[in-house]
Structure 1
Amino acid sequence: MKRKTFLRSGLAALSMVAVAALGACSSGGDGGSAGSGVTISLGFSQVGAESGWRAANTKSIQESLTAENGFKLSFSDAQQKQENQIQALRSYIAQGVDVLAFSPVVETGWDAVLQEAKNAGIPVILTDRAVDTTDDSLYASFIGSDFVEEGRRAGAWVKENFDGEKLSIVELQGTTGSAPALDRQEGFAEAIEGSDAKIIDSQTGDFTRAGGKKVMEGFLNSHDDIDLVFAHNDDMGLGAIEAIQAAGKKPGDDIKIVTIDAVKDGMQALADGKINYIVECNPMLGEDLAEIAKKVVAGEPVEKRIVVEDAAFTQEQAAEALPNRQY
């Protein structure tokens, strides 16, 4: 996978990661490097199964953390509830796994369980979403996209293509308090600042197609002047398409739509002209997770922040990319 890596915390952070990893090797798990023939036990807590993106992300993780690749994967679905994730992480800690990994439902409220993992000598790898903590030593590495930049790129396209036009925008937010929802909102607002494009309403659709449809129905009932929808993911954008069509309007024409993710259903809608622009958020994080997990268990230094490289697509580019699209 193409990616950009950034080291935020210097050599001291790398030394800390190595110490934590060595502690994990001596914990109750199987421990060791896959290359040595010793299986790495890894407990993973997934947000849920709320979207096509999440399904692709789960598939990537499960196909990368295999027995053949040196892993014993324990996987749990939190069903978008933070309490379920915390319970799963504590269960993995009690089992004495070698590594913990999870994609946090929301940014805050993790310090206690992360401290428990640190006390147990179990390194933690964050995937897809970050946590808000004052102590970066509570996790070894974070693998994921730059959500602020995704929102910024979506807003930049809007500003570039509709500069000088008065544009009324409604925003379909992701899960309240989650990193992608907060960051994509920030980046988009930053990019359209100073233009005649204005956000007239913004509500959460919880990253689901059903949620996007329901919120869009409300927007259409409340506003007569909607020109564009900014959806924080493809699934909410696809739900908005259903609502717009049911209202007798043409998505992509009467009401423009910009989304983030670039999963197959979204890309097909883009190729069909129902969506106007998509910024990619690459879900294929499994290989990176496997690589980082092996390194922390071996006591090797790892990058504190790994930023996955994302593309962006117009209608023509989506049509060209679809035949070979992996997700």
Structure 2
Amino acid sequence: MKTLQLLISKSVAGAIMFLSIALILAGCDRKAARTSAGNEGGRKKVVGFAQMENNGPWRIAETKSMRDEAAKRGYELVATDAQTQTSKQISDVEDMVARKVEAIFLAPREFEGLDGALAVAKQAKIPVFLIDREAAGTPGQDYVTFIGSNFVEEGRRVGEWTVKNTNGAAGIIILEGTAGSSVALDRNKGFLAAIKSSPDMKILASQPADFARATGQKVMENLIQAHGKKITVVYTHNDEMALGAIQALKAAGMNPGKAVKVVSVDGQKSALEAIIAGDLNVTVECNPRFGPIAFDTYEKYLRGEQIPPKIIVPDKFFDSSNAAQFVAEAY
């Protein structure tokens, strides 16, 4: 009888212990379910954002978007500023690897030259996501994917508008972005392809102005001295250079937006305001707010989902017909 009572007692104790463990595990599961993707067990995931620079509205808006989205999802974001130096950007990525961040978002300054940094991250098994600009390498091997706009398409859309609105005849100045960057190469490629079949669309000069307003103004001043009234179109690879070119054209009495058509890419607020004022003719949007799609893509990667080699963000086209409609939401 005592043996039977002992067996029953042990069985009850075992059942109670099993139930307690089950309840604890269930509680842990519920806690995990409540934890954001960037916060595991109360510990924030640390991810890096290697920005190329923070000296213009577009870059500032991009960095803010990444910071805001990281905070929203519970990540700790290590953000660096390469200050327009590829060598520093390489060092920034290597520092992130040494810190053992769990992912790196990289906005490449140049297409070439970052292969060493990508290799260091790959060796450390840290996934790299390229945003807004491409870099040499193979998606799925050297980096996970590229997230950004179709830069060739941006240039093509501007070029097609220019051909149509000049009746296929113009003296064109091109202000290029950072030499060697994928965005400058592709925006040029798209524009030149669009005007190729119009032999009276003449390129008078094409010079880098490094995506900067002050540089754009200075380069435009020099080109006005060289080409004067032959200039009837100015195509710039971003709005900051366009705004600088507009100032140079005004100073020379060349009536930008009317006598000289000014066309651009980016879609920043000051550019839309210039369209409304009649100084700028068109700009194709290149949205800098990459935070949501960048972190969505990273979290899909963490879940083991298939990530495409390129994720293209759709962009709007702004001219006098819709600039006022969108100016309030522009960056």
SS in 2 for 1:175: coil
CA shift digits 1:152-176 (9 cap, x unpaired)? 0000101122224x31000000000
Contact 1:123 1:296 in 2 (8 A): no
Specify which of 61, 65, 84 is matched with residue 60 of structure 1: 65
In structure 1, give the amino acid aligned to 2:197.
Answer: G
User: Paired residue for 2:4?
Assistant: none
In the alignment, is the contact (CA less than 8 A) between 1:99 and 1:297 conserved in 2? no
SS in 2 for 1:80: coil
Q: Which has the higher contact order (CA 8 A, sep 6+)?
A: 1
Letter in 1 for 2:322: Q
1:185 corresponds in structure 2 to 188
* 8 Å CA contact retained: 1:50, 1:207: no
2:213 corresponding residue in structure 1: 209
- The SS at the match of 1:109 is coil
> In the alignment, which residue of structure 1 is the partner of 2:313?
308
Partner deviation per Cα, 1:287-326 (whole Å, 9 max, x = no partner)? 0111122233344332221100001011121022213x14
The residue type equivalent to 1:201 in the other structure is A
* 1:202-241 map, 5 Å: 202-224=206-228, 225-241=230-246
1:109-148 pair list within 5 angstroms = 109-133=113-137, 136-148=140-152
TM-score for the superposition, normalised by structure 2: 0.85
Q: Distance in 1 between matches of 2:304 and 2:90?
A: 26
Larger radius of gyration: 2
Q: Whole-Å Cα distance in 1 between the matches of residues 308 and 137 of structure 2?
A: 18
Residue 164 of structure 2 corresponds to 160
CA contact (8 A) 1:234 1:261 kept: yes
Question: 1:261-292: per-residue Cα shift (whole Å, max 9, x none)?
Answer: 00000110011110011111111111011112
Percent identity between matched residues is 40
Task: From 43, 47, 51, give the equivalent of 2:52.
Answer: 47
- Aligned-residue Cα RMSD (Å) equals 1.5
Amino acid at match of 1:276: N
Q: In structure 1, give the amino acid aligned to 2:96.
A: Y
1:103 and 2:74 are equivalent in the alignment:
no
Alpha-carbon distance in 1 for matches of 2:275, 2:223: 22
Cα distance, 1:136 vs. partner? 4.8
Q: Tell me the CA shift for residue 41 of structure 1.
A: 1.1
SS state at 2:159 partner: helix
* Post-superposition offset of 1:124: 0.3
Aligned-residue offset at 1:34: 3.0
Q: 1:134: Cα distance to partner?
A: 5.1
SS at structure 2 position matched to 1:201: strand
- Give the helix-richer structure, 1 or 2: 2
Asked whether the 8 Å contact 1:150–1:187 carries over to 2, the reply is: yes
How many residues of Structure 1 are paired with residues of Structure 2 in the alignment? 293
SS state at 2:270 partner: helix
Matched residues in 1 for 2:109 and 2:99: separation? 22
- Structure 2: which amino acid aligns with 1:155? G
Secondary structure of 2:322 counterpart: helix
Q: Cα distance, 1:50 vs. partner?
A: 3.5
Tell me the SS of whatever aligns to 1:282: coil
Between 1:98-107 and 1:243-252, the stretch displaced more is 243-252
Any stretches of 5+ residues in structure 1 without a counterpart?
A: 1-31
